[in-house]
Structure 1
């Protein structure tokens, strides 16, 4: 009932509904396009291979392990640093070029391109249906006609691409323990969090009738350092955040109270990040797209983080990964991939540190892998990276580590450090009832 009412209300405010592709176009999926909409063939130069279904788990892999590197035998093709940057600048996000110039000890190791991204067959099937049924509504702030899968596998504009990222498959539920690092003036502070995610969109059994404008539920409890231990947060995330705002509550062990946060979206600062991370930079971009104008620049071959298994391996000390100015480049892997390039420009009347953003979105998975960030003067002030891997047990392709560099101050933020924690549990038992203010108080105690 609620969903039918919501759709009716949204339809009344639609400025322009995006067109679906016709059946002829949709038939390309699984033929010259992959099931999620990427070009199946390699490039003419042979430096990008054809997609053949994604990576298979290496021999000896068992669920619960830190995912072993299936490409550990690959030799680096070349290294990019400040000395040879001009030879590669056109294929690099501008923010990465800036890091190479700014830090003489920083470099990129470029490896053979491996198109490892994959998803379950039911996600492929849903994506095929979405191609002829899904559409943007409410001026692009909502999606109708999809309950799972990539909504716009053959995108027509930038907003469709960003929705593909927001809604790409990340499993049905996930319990994981990892650390975020705040690096200020070269000094690192770690916060360890026990985190839970429950997805409604992309969940097996979710239909258009029971989606109920809910995207996901999220909760974490801080377990270290001691001064923050017990601090907890819960978020209820709607699919259309203009129709229904995101709800968030925070528990403080100091006063043993749960309070509703007035906002945890857009440019509001994430708690416990020393002001380095706004709410909408989680997963490179999340939340409502309504405050930006979105332009699809096109598809380009770019050198981006990919198959980042080396930095994900078990037992690596966090101070071996997080250095005083940047991540340890010895542990990072870059490859040449086709990416969708999308520019976002802040609309008049809104404020945000990032006036414009340029997103680089992997064609195979729809994961954002890099973002250039500019201020109101057009100056490049930041760069984000997502270092992705394939999680074999689902399968699912998503970031294992995310960074946000502040180029003016030299400070940076890292999220996802899990090398010395139990591996993700995609079968953890949970339900929407576990993501209420009442449950938050129980978690904090």
Structure 2
């Protein structure tokens, strides 16, 4: 299955249609019944690929699949695996039909150093009973409203496990399960073309609406999650805090955000943290709406579902988590070191977003490849106003088997034109990376809580 294919759902051909302006009906009961049968509980194809290179889904990794490292991140359960082959600039034509345009561009941009080590494909993502129930409900009940900018009757995670168009696929990325509530401490680096870099460390808090301790059903139905991060390094930025109340329909109700400035010791509403505003702590290399590959309102683009295809994507990136792998061995000029990366062949949904006439954004087109087992964007290509490929995003994901949560070992954005990149989400040198036992009330995410959170 080397070329892009159309998907058949119950004998009906899904065309790459654009979203109509009214609310769309959820899938029929006989379609929804495919979840857990031909499809996994959240909508991936259960069966192996035709050639067997992509295995059938067997339920994913159990919580005891391996040991935890000293900082709590999982050790590599596939440490004995060796690459099947390595894709380089010299042999890329042999594999081009299973590469994204961004991967091809990176191989050509750095022909002597960039490469993709390809390993056996392993479908490691498990699905909890709670997420199964939420996806089953959403398949028969969730609808797009307000021209696709909001959701109706959505619960929990994975709004459209059997998507009918490109916008529903993107909503699955936005609403995918990534843990109910947690604390995390991660590092990022934005090296200069020569390789020099400094580490920025942030402490992050994340809680889905339904996990708030004092949440009452029907309260704040347009809220998706709460999020905050505090910069703890370097010293000149330490104590700066950003708080976000993430809304579902951001056209009707834009996300609410506040910042605490440690130097001024005051809380204020944040400037626009959306669309193509410069992302916080990104050295200007990533827009606000490209954090997590894509987030926020989809209204400035037309979303086209191209279909489904097989692609070599970053996967099971446990080696990038290794606590004995220092950042000096990961962060290199031009791109991250390829040796600790792992690419596997997986099925992905392919979606193209084209800027609407009259809409404003620095990206005229965005090309996404979304992993079927997690609904996370794995590859993201961004085009400038001239239609030239500009920035390439890669999500080096893994499955935290103890916590049963799909996470990111590293998110990387490459600027092909400037020769720089930003790598974020690293935890190798943190004493404690994630705490999934964190619980919070709505008041913990109030603007009034920012001052105490930002005290140095």
Specify if TM > 0.5. yes
* Aligned residue number for residue 72 of structure 1: 79
* 1:399 partnered with 2:413: no
Q: 1: distance between equivalents of 2:281 and 2:395?
A: 20
* 1:353 partnered with 2:362: yes
* 1:314 partnered with 2:320: no
In the alignment, is the contact (CA less than 8 A) between 1:147 and 1:202 conserved in 2?
Answer: no
Q: How much has 1:420 moved relative to structure 2?
A: 1.2
Structure 1 207/296 Cα, relative in aligned 2: closer, same or farther at 3 Å? farther
Please list the CA deviations of residues 330-373 of structure 1 after superposition, one character each: whole Å capped at 9, or x if unmatched: 01000000000000011122222211011000011101101111
Q: How much has 1:62 moved relative to structure 2?
A: 8.1
RMSD value, Cα: 1.8
Q: 2: distance between equivalents of 1:271 and 1:29?
A: 39
More helix by share: 1
* 1:129 partnered with 2:129: no
The 5 A counterparts of 1:99-178 are 99-103=106-110, 104-178=112-186
* Aligned residue number for residue 440 of structure 2: 430
TM-score by length of 1: 0.93
* Aligned residue number for residue 183 of structure 1: 191
Structure 1 207/78 Cα, relative in aligned 2: closer, same or farther at 3 Å? farther
Q: How much has 1:15 moved relative to structure 2?
A: 2.9
Q: 2: distance between equivalents of 1:96 and 1:207?
A: 45
Q: 2: distance between equivalents of 1:206 and 1:18?
A: 28
* 1:257 partnered with 2:266: yes
* 1:33 partnered with 2:39: yes
TM-score by length of 2: 0.91
Q: How much has 1:202 moved relative to structure 2?
A: 7.2
SS at match of 1:112: coil
Q: 2: distance between equivalents of 1:77 and 1:213?
A: 46
Structure 1 143/238 Cα, relative in aligned 2: closer, same or farther at 3 Å? same
Structure 1 387/44 Cα, relative in aligned 2: closer, same or farther at 3 Å? same
Q: How much has 1:297 moved relative to structure 2?
A: 0.3
SS at match of 2:339: helix
Number of residue pairs matched? Answer: 432
* Aligned residue number for residue 54 of structure 1: 60
SS at match of 1:98: helix
Unpaired runs of 5+ residues, structure 1, are 1-13
Q: How much has 1:278 moved relative to structure 2?
A: 0.8
Q: 2: distance between equivalents of 1:23 and 1:284?
A: 32
In the alignment, is the contact (CA less than 8 A) between 2:66 and 2:76 conserved in 1?
Answer: no
* Aligned residue number for residue 310 of structure 2: 301
Q: 1: distance between equivalents of 2:225 and 2:178?
A: 11
Q: 2: distance between equivalents of 1:275 and 1:251?
A: 20
* 1:84 partnered with 2:84: no
Which aligned segments of 4 or more residues in structure 1 are displaced greater than 3 angstroms?
59-64, 201-208
Q: 1: distance between equivalents of 2:260 and 2:151?
A: 32
Q: 2: distance between equivalents of 1:196 and 1:398?
A: 14
SS at match of 2:417: coil
Q: 1: distance between equivalents of 2:275 and 2:94?
A: 37
In the alignment, is the contact (CA less than 8 A) between 2:212 and 2:441 conserved in 1?
Answer: no
Q: 1: distance between equivalents of 2:271 and 2:66?
A: 49
SS at match of 1:216: strand
Q: 1: distance between equivalents of 2:212 and 2:32?
A: 23
